[in-house]
Amino acid sequence: MSKVVTFRNNVIDAVKGLFPEMDVEWYDGLFDEQDIADWTLKTPCARVAVMNAPTAHHSTMEMNTSLRVVVVIIDENRHVALDGDARAWEYVEKLAVFANLNKFNTPDAAPATKVRFKRISQPVLRREGVSVGVVEWESSVMIGRNRVLERDYFYRPDGSMITQTPQSRVIARGYAHNEAGMTAEDELDVTPEVD
């Protein structure tokens, strides 16, 4: 499976763990009023997208992809007018704090940076009692083959890396010298000269 898709799935699992009451799925990064109308049938809900993956070569010959992760959170008014706004802000703020410096259980990912969050204000949505919040951040994920591991390490015929090294036992005796360069034994052998 693609490392980007695996990372996106890890983000979805993390958001589900943070907000168990939410319906969390992926989306392609674009949404309109019709999408929001469909999503409000399952409020509160979150939609996760991973977009814009510029790459840079790394010294291991892998590519370092800088992923832009966007999470859209939708809620609606329940008990009183505009109470969905307070809950949307609470979800957005909690997710922003959670995402900051998080690797989302991905070994080849760097901690998330450049976390931004905002509420989307639109009169039509407000009149319908719908609150939309967005949290976005950047996460770098290494993709490709790590050729340094292939070149500098040894592997078994089954392809697993040999990590255990031969053990040896070394017993050494060291001598501590004083300022004159003498050891403790040398000092004991010194006999005063008698004239």
Please state the rounded mean pLDDT for residues 140-149: 85
- Beta strand segments in the chain, E: 23-26, 45-51, 55-57, 63-76, 113-120, 130-143
Residue 27 has pLDDT above 90, yes or no: yes
CB 121 within 8 A of CB 109: no
Count CB atoms within 10 A of the CB of residue 131.
Answer: 27
**124-128, 129-133, 183-187: which range is least confident on average?**
183-187
Q: 3-class DSSP state for residue 96?
A: helix
Beta strands 113-120 and 23-26 are: unpaired
CB 74 within 8 A of CB 41: no
CA distance 51 to 64: 14
**42-56, 100-114, 120-134: which range is least confident on average?**
120-134
| Two tokens, residue 101 | 């410096």
Can you give the pTM of this predicted structure? 0.74
CA distance 163 to 161: 6
CB 11 within 8 A of CB 104: yes
What's the fold here for domain 3-148? STM4215-like (3.30.2000)
The one-character DSSP state at 180 is T
**Which residues sit opposite 140 in a β-bridge?**
66
The burial class, CB within 10 Å (0-12 / 13-18 / 19+), for 161 is: exposed
pLDDT digits (tens, 9 = 90+) for 63-121: 889 999 999 999 888 766 667 778 889 999 999 999 999 999 998 899 999 999 998 87
Residue 174 has pLDDT above 70, yes or no: no
Residue 190 has pLDDT above 60, yes or no: no
